[in-house]
Amino acid sequence: MRVLVTGGAGFIGSHVVEALTARGHEAVVFDLCDGHDVRSPQAVASMLPGVDAVCHQAAMVGLGTRFSDAADYVSHNDLGTAVLLTAMADAGLRRLVLAGSMVVYGEGSYACERHGPVRPGPRAVADLDAGRFEPRCPDCGEKLMPGLVGEDAPVDPRNVYATTKLTQEHLAAAWARSTGGSAVSLRYHNVYGPRMPRDTPYAGVASFFRSALARGEAPRVFEDGGQRRDFVHVRDVSAANVAALESEPPEGSLTAYNTGSGDPHTVGEMARALAAAYGGPEPVVTGEYRLGDVRHITADSSRLRAGLGWKADVEFTEGMREFATSKLRGEQ
């Protein structure tokens, strides 16, 4: 199969290219860093002849620094996806695998002892300032138990980036309906591993910690370190992309799959595992917070395991040990 990998020069895209090649497929890289912009109809159209499927990884990522990034996120992620899908429709190309994200769920899934499943709203600044990081039951104000979020959970994007990732899915679903194409969205959880970009305001937490260690500094853990996440290795994510590309998904709609390791850890545990593996200073818990962050978000990835026969292979401690000594992108 010949696959156009948008964002193929990026962190995850470059691993997808390797995984496709290893399976005997041909991967064609399409990335802004080589001057190929998904927002350019001509650039996209010129790459599609002979292509069997598109694996759309290109996006502006991360939480960003300020609201004024909004137009850039919407432009790269949503206009870019619309242009790409238009070119695919014109070329009669019917297969899309999209890099989705767990950010579409907002604050994960919770249960109150008295009220059962509840959906807490965004955390109040006053609570965060006072170090009250755990969301409370909207009905009784009591503590909640975090649970695993499934694909049918309501979506609730909490920041601009999350909004654009959700819109990408809606655009892909509309494209599938009107062309009879098949679309799969792999909703990645926290991806880490070799070639992760070094720390910028757009990077993931594993990269912040790894970059601090490389400077000889202690990883700085926000809130109280108890935030739960599903850290999934980039090789497992690229394997999920290959499995999705090789599958026969339903036509005319979008199928979403959580893509997580199934082995949740707190951010504090991740910092300690990484610091220990690196042989660096113990993490420092700072109590700082970022307003757009959610407290806990952990995946139920059983649909992906059942539907595509995929499973995560890289175990947490082992993955962190490798990540501690592997090179970050942009690192000297």
Ligand X SMILES: NC(=O)c1ccc[n+]([C@@H]2O[C@H](COP(=O)([O-])OP(=O)(O)OC[C@H]3O[C@@H](n4cnc5c(N)ncnc54)[C@H](O)[C@@H]3O)[C@@H](O)[C@H]2O)c1
Stretch that binds Zn ion, among 47-55, 110-118, 261-269, 317-325 (CB under 5 A): 110-118
For residue 22, state whether it binds Zn ion (rule: CB under 5 A): no
Which CB sits closer to Zn ion, 2 or 114? 114
CB 47 → ligand X: shortest distance, Å? 11
Tell me the chain's radius of gyration from C-alpha atoms: 20
- Lateral strand order in the sheet of 109-112: 116-118, 109-112, 145-149, 298-299
CA torsion, points 40, 46, 52, 54, in degrees to nearest 10?
-20
CB 116 → ligand X: shortest distance, Å? 29
* Separation CA 154–CA 200 (nearest Å): 30
Which CB sits closer to Zn ion, 116 or 131? 116
Nearest-5° angle of CA 243, CA 245, CA 246? Answer: 65
Reading the block at residue 151, the tokens are: 């694909």
- Residue 139's contacts (CB-CB under 8 Å, 6 or more residues apart) are 112, 114, 115, 118
Closest CA to 100 of 45, 171, 38: 171
* Contact status, residue 194 vs residue 323, Cβ threshold 8 Å: yes
CB 104 → ligand X: shortest distance, Å? 10
Q: Please identify which residue in 4, 5, 13, 51 interacts with ligand X, judged by CB under 6 A.
A: 13
For residue 9, state whether it binds ligand X (rule: CB under 6 A): yes
Interactions with Zn ion, residue window 126-165 (CB under 5 A): 137, 139-140
For residue 81, the SS3 value is helix
For residue 190, state whether it binds ligand X (rule: CB under 6 A): yes
Out of Zn ion, ligand X, none, what residue 61 binds, judged by CB under 5 to 8 A for its kind, is ligand X
Out of Zn ion, ligand X, none, what residue 81 binds, judged by CB under 5 to 8 A for its kind, is none
* Contact status, residue 189 vs residue 235, Cβ threshold 8 Å: no
Out of Zn ion, ligand X, none, what residue 133 binds, judged by CB under 5 to 8 A for its kind, is none
Out of Zn ion, ligand X, none, what residue 59 binds, judged by CB under 5 to 8 A for its kind, is ligand X
Q: Which residues bind ligand X (CB under 6 A)?
A: 6-7, 9-13, 31-33, 36-39, 57-61, 76, 80, 99, 101, 165, 188, 190-191, 197, 204
Q: Which residues bind Zn ion (CB under 5 A)?
A: 112, 114-115, 137, 139-140
